Chain A
Amino acid sequence: MAALARDDPARPVRWGARAIALFAARVLAWGVPLFAAWYLATAPLSIASGWVAARLAELAMPVDRVPVRYRGGSLVFDAEPDEQTLWRNRLPAAVALEARANPMQFTCSIPFFLALVLATSLRPAWRRTVMGAGVLLLLASAGLYFDVHLQLAQVPGPGGGPLFATGPLAREAIALGFQLSTLLVPVLAPIVLWAAGEGRTRILPGREAGEGG
């Protein structure tokens, strides 16, 4: 296959319309097997991101424990409120609140990122690529955490108010985090990471234009 960009990163090429169209076609071509591979690897990816999301929830929410299960493609989080929340709502000690989330909605950034990297070069910097995939897995965990937190923040207590005491600013921040995590991060983060790595040295005009100024 003909290389789309020169492999010498010191001399990046400004891409013309044909090269960009070829790049897009290669992203699409790589996307097919990579999305299939991602689908096959859904369970371990989901379990890993769910585990991190549960730890984030334990750090940021008034809960004692958040065990998480992978069931039928979904993650089920069982949040156990802390003593203060139980006492304020006059709840028995054995209460667990369930929140379900679709981990694939967040981890789908990984095959997209790999398709961008492989479409740019068949000889990518593997260390950087693995690190990029790791960052995306962490971002997927953050997205899952926001999803869980948002669901649990809306659970009403016995008195009718929210079970978890959340300030108005924190509620807005969680809602913004959830919106960013679902609408932007899964599709934008792969491009940003790709641009910071392969794209910067082979496509984007960082060196040739930056050096002039």
Chain B
Amino acid sequence: MREPSTGRTTAPAQPFRAGRFALAFAGILVALFAAELTRPIQHALVAPWTDLVARASAAMLRAFDRDVVASDATIFSASTGFGITIRAGCNGVEAMLVLAAAMLAYPAPWRHRLLGLLAGTAAVQLLNFARIASLFYLGRWSATAFEWAHLYVWQALIMLDVLVVWLLWLGTIRPAR
């Protein structure tokens, strides 16, 4: 089938009900978030993922800056000693959980959800890499700029990224008639 407004091939969808979606989204999100905070999940998934994000970020930064060194979840400058440690909230996990909850709560075929999650995870992690790189260089330049970008600006940008990915994903689903 073709979706008239976008002209794209779309997956069939069940009817969308805003109230049901809101409840399912909230329930799934709280469950995922609470599970993420438990020790076993932190130990088995979140901590290794955070290390992986730090190592991948350091490897990408090192491609054009030989001064960058990574140790576990910390990236630092060998010349100045300035470093940033990637922790909860900086590893993109929360953003991925929000996206997962929004896609799981929306009435869509499972294959569509899975593809959306894969593409969404890539989009979130790409922007998260930009966040880590920008914070690393901002921190070397100004502590105030680092704090602003870290605490206020990038949080919103990452969630805007999630919203954009979700809206794009919604556009690929044919609404039920």
Task: Report how far A27 CA is from B159 CA in the complex, Å.
Answer: 12
Task: Report how far A179 CA is from B29 CA in the complex, Å.
Answer: 13
Q: A20-B164, A20-B171 are in contact. Are A108 and B16 (CB under 8 A)?
A: no
Count, A-B residue pairs, CB within 8 A:
93
- Among the listed A175, A187, A213, which residue makes an inter-chain contact with B14, where contact means beta carbons less than 8 Å apart? A213
B160 touches A210 (CB 8 A): no
**A31 contacts partner chain B, Cβ-Cβ < 8 Å:** yes
B33 touches A210 (CB 8 A): no
Residues of chain A within 8 A (CB-CB) of B164 are: 20-21, 23-24
B155 touches A212 (CB 8 A): no
Q: A24-B164, A188-B159, A212-B177 are in contact. Are A105 and B13 (CB under 8 A)?
A: no
- Among the listed B6, B29, B88, B177, which residue makes an inter-chain contact with A16, where contact means beta carbons less than 8 Å apart? B6
Residues of chain B within 8 A (CB-CB) of A20 are: 164, 167-168, 171
Chain B residues touching A, majority SS = helix
Task: Report how far A210 CA is from B159 CA in the complex, Å.
Answer: 26
Residues of chain B within 8 A (CB-CB) of A191 are: 159, 163
**A96 contacts partner chain B, Cβ-Cβ < 8 Å:** no
Q: A27-B160, A212-B175 are in contact. Are A183 and B18 (CB under 8 A)?
A: no
Name the interface size band of chain A.
35 or more
Q: Which residues of B contact A (CB under 8 A)?
A: 3, 5-6, 13-18, 22, 29, 33-34, 37, 88-89, 94, 98, 151-153, 155-156, 158-160, 163-164, 167-168, 170-171, 175-177
